[in-house]
Structure 1
Amino acid sequence: MERQLIAALAAVALVAGCATRQPATAPASFVDQQQYTKAMRDNSSAFTWPEGRTPDLTVLAERSGPGPDEAPAGSERIVLEITNSCAWYLGWEDARKRGDQSAATAALKVMDEVLPRFSPEDPDGQRYARETAAKAKAGDGSLAADYVANNCESLVWK
């Protein structure tokens, strides 16, 4: 009987704690296509790109942007992170194919040290990036190839 009473009191305490007023969060802001395109151009300079794998930002913004609607502010960052990951995975593979050990090593360094820090709100994505880098270091490009096949098909490079 005491256990039931203690459990009931604990449940009431938890519910009461949930009912306390939470601080208000800032309202989400949205951008139109023009603002999205500008944000993409402005934020792309924060990324490094392997030789031959710089995205055509006009095409990228047009294809990924909100068009006649609106997109959440900051969504261009996610698109740029995905595009940058594509660029480095493809850049690593390009360097391997042409036997450019220096470029392949530089790409592996970015794959290992930079890409896993993208999207802190997505721990599964970060884990995938770490696993991809570890496999690539061991000479296995299968995860990088899977990522490219699933995320990079429509990209246009300059």
Structure 2
Amino acid sequence: MERPLIAALLLMAVASGCASPPPAPPQLLDQQQYAKALQDGYSRFDWPGGHQPDLAVLAEKSGPGPDRLPSGSERVVLEITNSCAWYLDWEDARKRGDQTAATAALKVMDEVLPKFSPEDPDGQRYARETAAKAEAGDGAQAADYVATNCDSVVWQ
């Protein structure tokens, strides 16, 4: 009786993927590969008209230099930079009294940015809080995020 039970459990494990091999480690990117991955990933994001990063500078400042970074690092850098772009766009629109642009930026802050980095629930919660505060007219948390994360970004 024990053998058929073990065989059945093994069969279920294989069928459900539990016995699949572990995922391959991420590819390591040198500076040139990282810059290309950053360029390729850029088009997967919507960017506000007034805040688009200079990708060459971004790659230089966030890349591995003489070392290597795991693939996927460029996605995180682009998510952070994209968040900064929308926070800055929202604040700029508010300052110039452009309610249409502020509302459009706030919509991205509320609906898109909290979906970044699903592996980081704290980051997602922070993005939701930032959007809620911005909607209430408080841009301090958005400004803190930009000051902390994007002081070296050169905007085009």
Pairwise same-fold verdict (TM > 0.5): yes
Q: What is the identity, as a one-letter code, of the residue corresponding to 1:78?
A: V
Name the structure 2 match of 1:24. 22
Name the structure 1 match of 2:15. none
Partner Cα distance (2:88, 2:102) in 1? 10
Q: What is the identity, as a one-letter code, of the residue corresponding to 1:62?
A: E
Partner Cα distance (2:125, 2:25) in 1? 30
Partner Cα distance (2:152, 2:23) in 1? 36
Q: Matches of residues 1-158 of structure 1 in structure 2 within 5 Å?
A: 23-158=21-156
Q: What is the identity, as a one-letter code, of the residue corresponding to 1:141?
A: G
Flag structure 2 segments of 5+ consecutive residues without an equivalent: 1-18
Give the aligned CA root-mean-square deviation in angstroms. 1.2
- TM-superposed deviation, 1:146: 1.2
Q: What is the identity, as a one-letter code, of the residue corresponding to 1:31?
A: L
Query: Percent identity among equivalent residues?
Result: 75
Residue correspondences, number: 138
Name the structure 2 match of 1:14. none
Name the structure 2 match of 1:16. none
Partner Cα distance (1:157, 1:133) in 2? 22
- TM-superposed deviation, 1:74: 1.1
- TM-score, normalised by the number of residues in structure 1: 0.84
- TM-superposed deviation, 1:22: 8.4
Instruction: Please identify, of 26-35 and 81-90, the stretch whose mean Cα deviation from structure 2 is larger.
Output: 26-35
Partner Cα distance (2:25, 2:57) in 1? 30
Flag structure 1 segments of 5+ consecutive residues without an equivalent: 1-20
Partner Cα distance (2:130, 2:152) in 1? 21
- TM-superposed deviation, 1:25: 3.1
- TM-superposed deviation, 1:119: 0.3
- TM-superposed deviation, 1:28: 2.8
- TM-superposed deviation, 1:73: 0.7
Partner SS for 1:37: helix
- TM-superposed deviation, 1:34: 0.7
Partner SS for 2:102: helix
- TM-superposed deviation, 1:149: 1.4
Q: Which has more radius of gyration?
A: 1
- TM-score, normalised by the number of residues in structure 2: 0.85
Question: Could you list the runs of 4 or more consecutive aligned residues of structure 1 that deviate by over 4 angstroms after TM superposition?
Answer: none
Partner Cα distance (1:119, 1:99) in 2? 32
